[in-house]
Amino acid sequence: MNKAPKVAIVGATGAVGVEILSCLETRNFPLSSLKLLASARSAGKQVAFRGEMITVEELTENSFNDVDIALFSAGGGISLKYAPIAAAAGCVVVDNSSAFRQDPDVPLVVPEINPEAAFNHPRNIIANPNCTTIITLMALFPLHEQFGLKTVIASSYQAVSGSGQQGIAELESQVRSIVDGHPVEKKVYAHQIAFNLIPQIDAFTDTGYTKEELKMLNEGRKILSLPELKVTCTCVRVPVYRSHSISVTAQFEKPISVEEAQKAFDGKPGVELMDDPANIVWPTPLDSTNGDTCYVGRMRKDLAIDNALTLWVVGDQVRKGAALNAVQIAELLISR
């Protein structure tokens, strides 16, 4: 694109849409116009952007006739209906849902890992990966480049904001009820989330794994171009407001030491070591909340698997896991 694009945000009033707006502003994204699209219920709301107020418009089939880039964050059903319409109108869609991630004609992009994939989008749609996949691969890619990733064993500890604002509200409500001695109400989750862990995110498949757990396998293979990559994962909902954490054991093709692994992160954008256990330094969800960096710590040689390291990574799933990654993809598009 040789001029500042006209940009639209679909789902502009949702949690990720609001973060996309923030990223566009703080990163000084060059655009000639901005259209905010949402449901009829949100249409008419006023949203501040760069010192001006923008009126939210209702999403319709005619919303994309004058748009160059559309950032979708309104859920899979909306994406399946409206993304092809936007693409047919000549707009490049960056979609945050899972609707197109496994489509062979839709690239799945993490700009720090496979930026070149963004420029081959025959359907005019680019998919944003799952948040947990992005955060995990931000930690593993610098190691993969030097040592060759072979197998991943992961357990994720995912914040309630991954369920949207309603997840946060349920955690707050349950904590308040417990403190006040009142019965706990469960609406969002099948089990109490306050002071508890829930080892299920998304629906179970016939493999015994949930859909969320299989995303790490399928999306990791596609992003890294490693069709034989082996991944097993357990995803757990935890009573944390924001930022996901993942415990990872990764096996590599080549021998690897902790010292070599730490050097692999030197100069890598978007990921930073926070790894000094002797001084009680390692990352927690609060360290990454509202930030753009993924942090890696607790790095150590695995005691059970050859050529393997075990590590801990945290990242804000609303920003790098969704909004920021989408905006970075858009930045790639305008860089051409």
Set 23, 91, 121, 131: catalytic member:
131
Kindly tell me if the per-residue pLDDT of 302 is higher than 90: yes
- Answer positive or negative: Cα dihedral of 29, 34, 35, 37: positive
- CA–CA gap between residue 51 and residue 268 (Å, rounded): 34
Superfamily of domain 6-128+322-335: NAD(P)-binding Rossmann-like Domain (3.40.50.720)
Tell me what the mean pLDDT of segment 224-244 comes to: 98
Confirm whether 244 is a catalytic residue.
Answer: yes
Condensed to tens digits (0 to 9), the pLDDT of residues 101-131 reads: 999 999 999 999 999 999 999 999 999 999 9
Which helix (H) or strand (E) segment holds residue 191: the answer is: none
Q: What residue ranges do the domains of the chain occupy?
A: 6-128+322-335, 133-317
For residue 232, give both structure tokens: 């097993």
Please, are residues 323 and 280 in contact by the beta-carbon 8 Å criterion? no
Assign 2 a pLDDT band (cuts: 50, 70, 90). Answer: low
Condensed to tens digits (0 to 9), the pLDDT of residues 168-187 reads: 999 999 999 999 999 999 99
Condensed to tens digits (0 to 9), the pLDDT of residues 60-106 reads: 999 999 999 999 999 999 999 999 999 999 999 999 999 999 999 99
Please, are residues 117 and 329 in contact by the beta-carbon 8 Å criterion? no
Percent helix, percent strand, percent coil in the chain, to nearest 5: 35, 25, 40
Assign 336 a pLDDT band (cuts: 50, 70, 90). Answer: confident
Percentage of the chain beyond pLDDT 90 is 98
Set 23, 144, 235, 244: catalytic member:
244
* Nearest C-alpha neighbor of 147 from the set 256, 308, 250, 303: 256
Neighbours of 333 (CB within 10 A): 17
- CA–CA gap between residue 131 and residue 296 (Å, rounded): 16
Confirm whether 191 is a catalytic residue.
Answer: no
For residue 148, give both structure tokens: 């060759």
- CA–CA gap between residue 84 and residue 81 (Å, rounded): 7
Residue-averaged pLDDT of the chain = 96
Tell me what the mean pLDDT of segment 126-140 comes to: 98
pLDDT of residue 3: 80
CA distances from 293 to 180, 192, 227, 281, 321 (A): 37, 31, 28, 16, 10
Neighbours of 190 (CB within 10 A): 9
DSSP letter at 319? I
Please, are residues 164 and 317 in contact by the beta-carbon 8 Å criterion? no
Choose which CATH entry (3.30.70.580, 3.10.20.30, 3.40.50.450, 3.30.360.10) describes domain 133-317. Answer: 3.30.360.10
pLDDT of residue 1: 56
Tell me what the mean pLDDT of segment 135-152 comes to: 98
Please, are residues 323 and 87 in contact by the beta-carbon 8 Å criterion? no
* Nearest C-alpha neighbor of 162 from the set 141, 208, 193, 140: 193
Assign 150 a pLDDT band (cuts: 50, 70, 90). Answer: very high
Tell me what the mean pLDDT of segment 262-267 comes to: 96
For residue 254, give both structure tokens: 């080549």
- CA–CA gap between residue 148 and residue 112 (Å, rounded): 17
